[in-house]
Amino acid sequence: MELSKIFYFSLLLLTYFFSGYIFERHETLIIFFLFFSCFTITFLVSKKLSLKEILFFGISFRLVLFFAYPWLSEDFYRFIWDGFVIGENINPYEYTPSDLINKKEVFGTKKILEELYGNISNLSSLNYSPYPPISQFLFFLSTSFKKDIYFSLISMRVLIIISDILNFFIGCRLLKILKFKQGKIFWYFLNPLVIIELSGNLHFEGFLVTFLGFGILLFLENKKLFSLLPFAFSVGTKLITIIVIPLIINQKKISENLKMMFLFFGLLFFIFFLPIGNNNFLNFFNTIKLWFSNFEFNGSIYYIIRYLGYKIKGYNIVQSVGLITPLITLIIMFYLIFVRKNKEIKIILEDIFLLMSFFYLISMVVHPWYIITILYLGLFTNYNFQIIWSALIFLTYSAYQDFEVKENFYLIGLEYIVVVGFFIYEFLRQGNIKTFLKKKFLS
């Protein structure tokens, strides 16, 4: 390995170590300095590494965080809570943590659950689990070996690192099939946002990417029926992929479309209804609905609408406009399914990338780890604005102070002005408006 690469490698290892073990979330300036240092150094080395070196660097940076407690998110406490609850044969969709904490049914893990309950956010403790059944299985798997919080944390990290290594190999294979340079996997596997939010903070978007990527790979290899299972698992991990899977499995023949759609949604029925149960499905649905009616964080267009709502109505119109996001997304999805006639796989992958990007651009809640999925899908397009977004979205951590969450709207404005501006530039660079309109609407 060249001396310059060893220098970059050592510097990044040290930066990730300080990020994971030394500083806390409320130390905003230091956290920003470390993250943007990681991003800058990663950018400098971006064209210097072979695939083997990308794999080695990526695994090493994940392993340096192996024993760290997540320092930017408390979500993992709820993951472990759900895993322990399932271990007690209790359905996590049946009780909220607040309901369950005083019940005798959890006697076996009572002390552990009390410790977890003290670390779960008040918002989480008052609501049913929002995590789909495949995620719940992963939580249970992580907590089933030993009834210990730290051991469960490490077990989760092992699973997440394994899934990310799979993402590397699946991504490389897809890039080769689609005739892109395999080196593009760099922007996923060595992206600081991916390393910190998945291996560091233990979010499970990596498994969504694994299932989605594997499904696309099977689909490209003409194993279309087999691809439905990982597609269904991706939705069972994170619901967001349900808006793009129909675009992938949409075929030229209507009979094939109906067959594939019927089988796909049949798989979803068994994945969701059997573990959740008919009686608890309303609890799950109402919890998910909160993301479109009550919660707000790092919104872009939504915050503009909210501001106008205050000016016109005099109050927050979140509950009135929240459901517009999924409605608009569904309209676009159905247009792409039933009106578009171009079924080339590169065009389809670009469509699902843009659809999911648009969904997050109009969403009320956009946490940093949410965009990891579009970061991965963007590898199979000619767009790069998602890479810039993966750097700028980290600015949202300025909202977390010592005792409160208070967003900085100047930083949010900077984030979206740059991201949307760069998207428009890339969009225009790839073809003029007339070509786009002819390609998208007259095909």
Tokens of 248: 């992938």
- Output the pTM of the full model: 0.92
Mind listing the pLDDT tens digit of every residue in the chain (443 residues)? Answer: 687 888 999 999 999 999 999 988 888 899 999 999 999 999 999 888 999 999 999 999 999 999 999 999 999 999 999 999 999 899 999 999 999 887 766 667 778 889 999 999 888 999 999 999 999 999 999 999 888 999 999 999 999 999 999 999 999 999 999 999 999 999 999 999 999 999 999 999 999 999 999 999 999 998 988 999 999 999 999 999 998 888 888 766 767 777 888 889 899 988 888 888 878 888 998 898 888 777 889 988 888 877 777 777 666 666 666 667 778 888 888 887 777 655 688 888 999 999 999 999 988 899 999 999 999 999 999 999 999 999 999 999 999 876 778 899 999 999 999 999 999 999 888 764 545 445 544 44
Tokens of 112: 């552990």
Residues 6+ apart with CB under 8 A from 174: 213, 216, 217, 220, 379, 380
The phi and psi torsions of 322 (rounded to 5 degrees) equal -60, -40
The phi and psi torsions of 96 (rounded to 5 degrees) equal -80, 160
Distance CA 146, CA 162 (A): 20
**Sole residue written with tokens 């993992």:** 76
Q: For position 250, what pLDDT does the model report?
A: 78
Any idea where the domains of the chain sit in the sequence? 3-71+153-441
Distance CA 243, CA 240 (A): 6
The CA–CA distances, whole Å, from 143 to 63, 72, 81, 203 equal: 20, 21, 9, 15
Which residue(s) pair with 297 in the sheet? 365
